[in-house]
Structure 1
Amino acid sequence: MSNILYSYKQEWLSNGHGEYVEIPSERDFFEQVKRSNKVVCHFYRDTSFRCLILDKHLTVLAKKHIETRFIKLNAEKAPFLCERLRIKVIPTLALVKDGKTQDYVVGFTDLGNTDDFTTETLEWRLGCADIINYSGNLMDPPFQSQKKFGTTFTKLDKKTIRGKKYDSDSDDD
């Protein structure tokens, strides 16, 4: 079993897995997708600050998850591909498995809708798409444990016209 895993690791590393690199053209995108079973492609623009945030997290994840190829492509240099994959929002991650685009991470909506999401949050989202081998619990997103993302529901007292609650109210059960 370990020999099989070792040979997979060697194949992945020879295909450029373990690092996050920019590819120069649409043609290179198709070559990468053919050579690797799992690919995360970051469509970015130089003018987008959020793309730099995503770059930081993807660099960490590429080293951790060598089973997946992590690449980035300038959306302005790939108009055909962006149209074909219906990429309208930057940044977008296209999650490609076995040559087919399975899922997208569009903007930061799935990542807690904030610029300061954690690498673990992105790792969880990629795990949900089965594009990486996620070791955590997919039913327990990391951002729900953070107070600013968690929603707490509290029962509010009913307001009355005078702003007071009377003992004689019959609406309370």
Structure 2
Amino acid sequence: MQPIDSIFNRGLFTTQMAYEAGLSKRDLKAALTDGLITKMTRGVYARAGMPYDIYAMIALIYPNGIFAKMSALALYDMTDELPKHIDMAFPNGYSNKNLVSHQIKPFRQQPDRLMLGLTEVTTTSGATVTVYSPTRTLLDIWDDPQIDTAVRLEALKEYMSRFRSSQSDRELMHFKNKLYANSTIDYALEVLV
């Protein structure tokens, strides 16, 4: 397999990934001209015909980010609300001037908080991205005044029907104690049981 085939088989890739696979700037330009790839944004390319996948693209650009809140709800199909921006968690001190240009709303956290509830999901294009678990996501949005009550209730109903288990209940209480000691999520769960 040639380097050009291996990188194109990934579907979505960065300029750096192409260079590491042995492609040159000239190879990328030729692939663009021949219609083999398309430029998604600065430094990110996709195999021609691949569906647009904002989550896969953003994960490539910001590998230290974790999809959170409304973006996580969308990835889990726990909301019908179209996100106005991309919610991502980053380590405290992380700074990148391009976050605004990619419509990313960053949440910076201490490492012990940042790493709680991490998991991965597969996006519509088949890419794997890092996201908070449904349990952590529900807790993150529950008492957030910037998230509409109807969105929170819809997420809770989806969580109850698709993700709730005795293990997730234990996880929820663990996360609540570590992250949001004053959250009202446990009262909402009691009402729905």
Larger radius of gyration: 1
Q: What range describes the TM-score normalised by the shorter chain of this pair?
A: under 0.3
Q: Which has the higher contact order (CA 8 A, sep 6+)?
A: 1
Q: TM-score, normalised by structure 1?
A: 0.27
Which structure features the higher share of helix residues? Answer: 2
Q: TM-score, normalised by structure 2?
A: 0.25
